[in-house]
């Protein structure tokens, strides 16, 4: 039996073979501590700095502006808590959006316990924030704006350069969570204009448990982890050399022919969308039709519950729900709620995301499985309603 078609690349990516090969020596033989001054520490130390340069090259920044973390969640925590604690004497107001990842929203809620205030700006029905709404939320005590580069559920890309320019005009620090955008769309920090940017390795064909944070020179978040002087003193602890090497190699791969990669993912995504829309009625696209990640497809099936679709296709397609439906209640994602997607549509939302390894044959298999599942559910619902006289 063939494995299910993997269409959850936004959830996590497979390891690129080149990444595994780059990591292998530092798992098998090059075990030295990079902080050691003896022979065994030399190659690991050089490998860490080479990985830092590889990440910096993808971001178009200087290598000393990058330090490694355990992943996107830690990077977001460090950026937001670090800047809040560093600037708390100047103000205690933070602006973010209603569609951020919990790794941003929960950090802001935690800071509210400590006396900070958060304004969560809404989005339109395409999931895009209006720059004017960010502008109107700015106060004299605003110290930080955090807006994700691209949404993980619907793929909508936010106007980060415009928001960064607004933040700079008002002397406010600007952070973006780029976990979903790295390797899919350009993440040049000079173009984006951000002060801090978060990276998650496992969205980039690198291992889970590694990430990075870009901190622009002249910006000084408070230290996240105290101890020795690793990572310029921002994050103490012995370096996770194999994983850092893996992230560096993944960033190097992402920088090679990015247009080809994006076009392939988009081609697979659009083939999937067309295949489903051609064969099924009542299919709705969520997210911006154009300003959207090239690999992300959030679809709603009217009157059908997402968990039932995923149950039906579970042995054939791996995807994620946009709603959790139970006996008498429907739990929608906060993103769909913020976009004000009508309940009859929202409860039947699934996220399908393609990747570098996705093939046309896999897409066609997925279309067949999803169409068959949705049609079977619709027939069952129609029969049930007929039997009950509804």
Position with higher pLDDT, 356 vs 382: 356
Span 17-255: which CATH code?
3.40.640.10
32 pLDDT more than 70:
yes
Residues 222-231 have pLDDT tens digits of 998 888 888 8
What is the C-alpha separation between 191 and 123, in angstroms, rounded?
23
Domain ranges of the chain: 17-255, 258-388
The closest alpha carbon to 215, from 201, 227, 198, 237, belongs to: 198
Residues 187-237 have pLDDT tens digits of 999 999 999 999 999 999 999 999 999 999 999 999 988 888 888 888 989
Residue 279 pLDDT:
97
Residue 330 pLDDT:
61
Residues 156-167 have pLDDT tens digits of 999 999 999 999
Active-site hit among 120, 135, 225, 325: 325
CA 345 to chain centre: 24
Are 188 and 214 in contact, with CB atoms under 8 Å apart?
Answer: no
Residue 134 pLDDT:
98
Percent of the chain with pLDDT over 70: 96
Span 361-377, mean pLDDT?
A: 97
Span 340-356, mean pLDDT?
A: 96
What is the C-alpha separation between 181 and 175, in angstroms, rounded?
14
Spatial strand order of the sheet with 173-177 comes to: 66-69, 211-215, 196-200, 173-177, 142-146, 93-97, 117-121
Are 193 and 69 in contact, with CB atoms under 8 Å apart?
Answer: no
385 pLDDT more than 80:
no
Position with higher pLDDT, 328 vs 155: 155
Residue 327 pLDDT:
43
User: CATH second-level architecture of 258-388?
Assistant: Alpha-Beta Complex (3.90)
Are 273 and 299 in contact, with CB atoms under 8 Å apart?
Answer: yes
What is the C-alpha separation between 97 and 114, in angstroms, rounded?
20
Residues 92-135 have pLDDT tens digits of 999 999 999 999 999 999 999 999 999 999 999 999 999 999 99
pTM of structure: 0.95
For this structure, is 108 an active site residue? no
């Amino acid at each position: 039996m063939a494995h299910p078609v993997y269409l959850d690349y936004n959830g996590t990516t497979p390891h690129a073979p080149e990444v595994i090969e780059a990591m292998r020596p530092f798992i098998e033989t090059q075990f030295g501590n990079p902080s050691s001054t003896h022979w065994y520490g030399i190659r690991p130390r050089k490998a860490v700095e080479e990985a830092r340069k590889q990440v910096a090259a993808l971001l178009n920044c200087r290598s000393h502006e990058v330090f490694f973390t355990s992943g996107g969640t830690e990077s977001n925590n460090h950026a937001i808590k670090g800047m809040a604690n560093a600037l708390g004497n100047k103000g205690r107001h933070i602006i973010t959006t209603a569609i951020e990842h919990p790794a941003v929203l929960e950090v802001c809620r935690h800071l509210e316990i400590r006396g900070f205030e958060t304004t969560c700006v809404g989005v339109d029905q395409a999931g895009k924030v209006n720059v004017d709404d960010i502008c109107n939320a700015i106060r004299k005590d605003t110290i930080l704006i955090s807006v994700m580069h691209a949404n993980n559920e619907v793929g909508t890309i936010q106007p980060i350069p415009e928001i960064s320019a607004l933040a700079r005009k008002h002397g406010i620090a600007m952070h973006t969570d780029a976990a979903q955008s790295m390797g899919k769309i350009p993440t040049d920090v000079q173009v984006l204009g951000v002060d801090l940017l978060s990276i998650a390795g496992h969205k980039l064909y690198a291992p889970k448990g590694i990430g990075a944070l870009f901190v622009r020179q002249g910006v000084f978040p408070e230290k996240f982890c105290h101890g020795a002087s690793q990572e310029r003193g921002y994050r103490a602890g012995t370096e996770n050399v194999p994983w850092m090497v893996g992230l560096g190699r993944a960033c190097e791969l992402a920088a090679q022919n990015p247009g080809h990669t994006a076009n392939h993912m988009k081609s697979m995504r659009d083939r999937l969308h067309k295949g489903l829309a051609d064969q099924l009625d009542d299919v709705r696209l969520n997210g911006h039709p154009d300003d959207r990640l090239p690999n992300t497809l959030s679809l709603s099936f009217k009157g059908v519950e997402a968990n039932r679709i995923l149950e039906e296709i579970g042995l054939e397609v791996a995807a994620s729900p946009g709603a959790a439906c139970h006996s008498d209640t429907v739990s929608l994602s906060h993103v769909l709620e913020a976009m004000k997607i009508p309940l009859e549509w929202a409860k039947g939302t699934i996220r399908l995301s393609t990747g570098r390894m996705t093939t046309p044959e896999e897409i066609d298999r997925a279309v067949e499985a999803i169409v068959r599942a949705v049609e079977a559910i619709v027939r069952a619902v129609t029969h049930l309603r007929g039997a009950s006289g509804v």
